[in-house]
Chain A
């Protein structure tokens, strides 16, 4: 029973990856300005992203049912739930603002992470060790994944902002047209606003993650903070984003510099998720990899 459920989960996950990959191609063709009816490509891309999201949700839920617990207790499951959150935030934000121009980035990133996870991190369903048997696993890890979703979009918007700013300068200096694909992006000030509003949400969620993690650490390990490597990196990421917030009200740091901080922040999130989980030794050794 457990076996067949987790096999269905894998099947659904591969299907979602295929759908995301097609969506990625359509989004990218649109950015490149190729295709007969360009404006329709992104809409098909968005619909496919919804479809991929549904498939991936099925995969995630089945994995959870197969395991009889929340589906975020090892690297494979972290990747599955984390990328699901990135897609979710992208889709939800698109209901409010038109951020379809980020579709290429989001689907590309998610396909890469899922591909890496399915081939390198896959582990069979195993029960939770006593250290993870806590409702804090549900709260702490889920909120951390959700924060990652907001930071990912913040990264993409900040990158777009930096490029757009250079393009705007080139255009106003009447230099030859550069990066025509960016003409479909909003102007850099708008990108900066979007990035800020998403990162602020991510920052609050991350602050919560940090505090929830400390409360859990007190229960499980007998101390609320012990500079375990994962705690260190959670702290570093928090500090970088705190720096980002301050940079926005520091003269000379608004614009490109603060955007670069937002990008370093997300790079650290990815580093924390991959390199720290796999190669660093510490109490958060729950990758499930041997």
Chain B
């Protein structure tokens, strides 16, 4: 019974089986048309990521976008427009594209493998039907002519095979007559490397995708700011920010220290159109692997330091004023070198000094640093040159609760003033504190004194490890190399057939067929004809 019903089902719906649907779907997905549409879709889907700031490339831009467009931003965020390149829809497109690619390429690998190991196909019966063909008569016996043609094609790098046969009209005739009417031919094919290159190119793209995917997972990226004289150790705790990959293992960090000995900047001083433009940044560092001898090294913007399984990049720099705060009795309650964030090309910099202990109240100093200070018409300070010609540090003083005791991580570059009172600067009775290097001024309300001891340069280093990076490069270069083969090596089949015209001459037919784009096909046929005639 069940047997019968199953038979019935198959009779009624022969094509609607799951396998059938699957086959239909697979054929659609792996068709050239689908691949093309997915490619174009991918191009279109990439566009929004260039119109809207992306969290990966420009996180501050995203924050600003939310502030400027409070209504629109959450809507865009809900469709992942701030993370376009890791979004579900973008991923779906490229994954489908790669599935389509693999589905298209794998059967071709098998087919090409077979073609590589087999002879060119039998010479077609009627060569004049092919789009590129030529026919002419030359003196000489067919045997001699075909030998010459055969040798010519071989010399041109063709894979060749001889087919000697009776013409269709002579079929069945006796061997004696066949020799006069028989057709001698060479079937030749060249340019197998075109398909090899094409397959390799697509395979290499899959390689790039896989290597990129693994690279993100196995490595890490960390950032660390250090000022001149300061050292940092390659360990999780030492980094200001640290982004581990999914499979990152903290114990894989090579133990080493990097000390910033000095940071040298050269500025343009001659060219009137570029006064103060930085010409060179050089970080002189001492590196030391655990238990080994220290080494001197340099890091420049375009010359990262490859050291201890990591790449160390110089990505930013600025000034770090050294500040000392004393209580009214003159006891030091705070002494540190604090990196200030540059705000403009002349390095007007902003930073925060937080004094949590030792004074009657917690103290927050919001500082502005001007490497070469100047005052505008309004009296507001600005920096007119990025180098240290006439440095000045100003402070707005806040007292109250720094908010450090609530266990919430606070940025060292920002002061949360919600629980604080402003003592100097705008909207207060007192002017901001102004200090030149070496100067000490009193804090308001008899809180103590603050001293500007001097200023150092700091650098912001990016430390990366991406073990798959070299594989991305390998596959990218492989794809470029194989692309050359795939586009510039013509693949074609050529046939030369010779029959006897009269006692002393032969009729030669040449025909060629391109596989893929080959615009020079007619010329090649003509050239070959010319060579045979001259031979």
- Residues of chain A at the chain B interface (Cβ within 8 Å): 2, 123-131, 133-134, 136, 193, 196-197, 200, 203-204, 207-208, 211, 214-216, 218-229, 232-233, 235-236, 239-240, 242-243, 246-253, 261, 276, 280-283
Roughly how many angstroms separate A132 CA and B39 CA in the complex, as a whole number?
A: 32
Task: Decide: A215 near B57, CB < 8 A? Known: A193-B519, A243-B43, A280-B50.
Answer: no
| Binding site secondary structure of chain A | helix
| List of A residues within 8 angstroms of B279 by Cβ | 127-128, 130
| List of B residues within 8 angstroms of A281 by Cβ | 53, 58, 61
Give the residue of A197, A211, A219, A239 whose beta carbon is less than 8 angstroms from that of B304: A219
Give the residue of A126, A136, A280 whose beta carbon is less than 8 angstroms from that of B277: A126
A130-B278, A252-B33, A253-B33 given; 7 more Cβ-contact pairs under 8 Å: A127-B271, A130-B301, A131-B302, A133-B302, A196-B519, A200-B488, A240-B43
Task: Decide: A227 near B85, CB < 8 A? Known: A133-B302, A204-B487.
Answer: yes
Query: How many Å from the CB of B322 to the closest CB on chain A?
Result: 26
Roughly how many angstroms separate A197 CA and B53 CA in the complex, as a whole number?
A: 37
| List of B residues within 8 angstroms of A252 by Cβ | 33
Cβ contact within 8 Å between A224 and B469 = yes
Give the residue of A123, A127, A228, A240 whose beta carbon is less than 8 angstroms from that of B268: A127
The interface stretch among B363-371, B440-448, B478-486 is B478-486
B280 within 8 A of A: yes
Cβ contact within 8 Å between A236 and B473 = no
Task: Decide: A223 near B464, CB < 8 A? Known: A126-B277, A130-B278, A253-B36.
Answer: yes
| List of A residues within 8 angstroms of B121 by Cβ | none
Give the residue of A214, A221, A261 whose beta carbon is less than 8 angstroms from that of B313: A221
Cβ contact within 8 Å between B300 and A232 = no
Task: Decide: A126 near B274, CB < 8 A? Known: A193-B519, A243-B40.
Answer: yes
Roughly how many angstroms separate A134 CA and B300 CA in the complex, as a whole number?
A: 11
| List of B residues within 8 angstroms of A228 by Cβ | 57
| Chain B, residue nearest A265 (CB) | B43
- Residues of chain B at the chain A interface (Cβ within 8 Å): 32-33, 35-36, 39-40, 42-43, 46-47, 49-50, 53-54, 56-58, 61, 84-85, 212, 221, 268, 271, 273-274, 277-281, 300-304, 311, 313, 315, 462, 464, 469, 472-473, 476-477, 479-480, 483-484, 487-488, 516-517, 519
Query: How many Å from the CB of B190 to the closest CB on chain A?
Result: 19
| List of B residues within 8 angstroms of A227 by Cβ | 49, 54, 56-57, 84-85
Give the residue of B36, B221, B472 whose beta carbon is less than 8 angstroms from that of A224: B472
Cβ contact within 8 Å between A130 and B462 = no
Give the residue of B46, B221, B516 whose beta carbon is less than 8 angstroms from that of A235: B46
Roughly how many angstroms separate A128 CA and B268 CA in the complex, as a whole number?
A: 10
Cβ contact within 8 Å between B280 and A130 = yes
Roughly how many angstroms separate A235 CA and B476 CA in the complex, as a whole number?
A: 14
